[in-house]
Amino acid sequence: MAVETRVMNCIMCPMGCELTVTIEDGAVTNVTGNTCPRGAIYAKNEVTAPKRMLTSTVAIEGGVLPLLPVVSADVLPKERILDCACYLRGIKVQAPVKTGDVIVENILGLGVNIIASRDMELHAQ
């Protein structure tokens, strides 16, 4: 039976609790140091299946700026973030765009949409 201990900081709130996570045979068996239940949930997820939000930009034609800020509508598997970012390099949208518009639906089949994180008006000619 392999037992491992990891120390990590919780990012679920501004407290930033220092968590000590005990892992036995790949499963989290104990979490200490958290001041709220969210810390234990975060630690278990971070050890077994880490996920992250993706913030990036895509090219936009006809906009007042050359790039449109975008964000994932939900968390993505951490190991697929780079793949998603690479995919977004090939995306080009047309202005105008409103905050919350879906830019890429179900990116890479992961069940998460990529949405605009700001309005982008047409550039006046």
Q: Residue 45: how many CA atoms within 13 Å on its side-chain side?
A: 16
Regarding whether 83 and 69 lie in a shared domain, the answer is yes
Domain assignment present for 73: yes
Average pLDDT over residues 50-54: 95
Domain span at 90: 55-116
Looking at every residue in the chain, the average pLDDT score rounds to: 95
- Quick check: 51 and 75 in contact, CB under 8 A? yes
Q: Is the pLDDT of residue 65 over 80?
A: yes
The tally of domains found in the chain comes to: 2
Average pLDDT over residues 55-80: 97
Average pLDDT over residues 64-82: 97
Domain assignment present for 121: no
Q: Is the pLDDT of residue 125 over 70?
A: no
Domain assignment present for 124: no
Q: Is the pLDDT of residue 55 over 90?
A: yes
Position 123 scores a pLDDT of 84
- Quick check: 53 and 69 in contact, CB under 8 A? no
* Residue in this structure with the two tokens 């089949």, named with its chain if needed: 109
